[in-house]
Copies of this chain bind each other. A is one copy, B any other.
Amino acid sequence: MHVTIVEIYVKKENIEDFIQATLENFEDSIREPGNLRFDVLQCIDDPARFTLYEAYESEDAARAHKNTAHYLHWKKTVESWMEKPRVGIAHRVIAPVERKQWKA
């Protein structure tokens, strides 16, 4: 399993636009064959800071996400709403180790 955690800082005036565009990306992303989770989170202490928690069954599946039409559309849509460049950090999974513990 492979988890990318993406930290995103959005311009204050685009917070609602960003949420809407990201919900559309969420709906398509969870339907990708290798996707396990695509959680969209908003920081409580800073509502302009978001985290995407993207779990895939393999590094290949995570890479494939970046070639999907919905990801490319999202990327282009949100580009001008970023307060600064977003950062994605790749992780290996220590626990839980079974695929069935990931996909609800």
Contacts and interface: CB of A to CB of B under 8 A. Distances in A.
Given A3-B39, A95-B39, A100 B104 contact: yes
Given A51-B5, A53-B53, A104-B102, A43 B89 contact: yes
For the complex formed by this chain, how many copies does it contain in all?
A: 2
Interface residues of A, number: 31
A95 B44 contact: no
A102 B51 CA distance: 16
Contacts of A3: 39, 41, 53
Given A5-B51, A39-B93, 18 more contacts: A5-B5, A22-B94, A23-B95, A39-B96, A40-B93, A40-B94, A41-B91, A41-B93, A42-B92, A42-B94, A43-B89, A43-B90, A43-B91, A44-B90, A44-B91, A96-B104, A101-B104, A102-B104
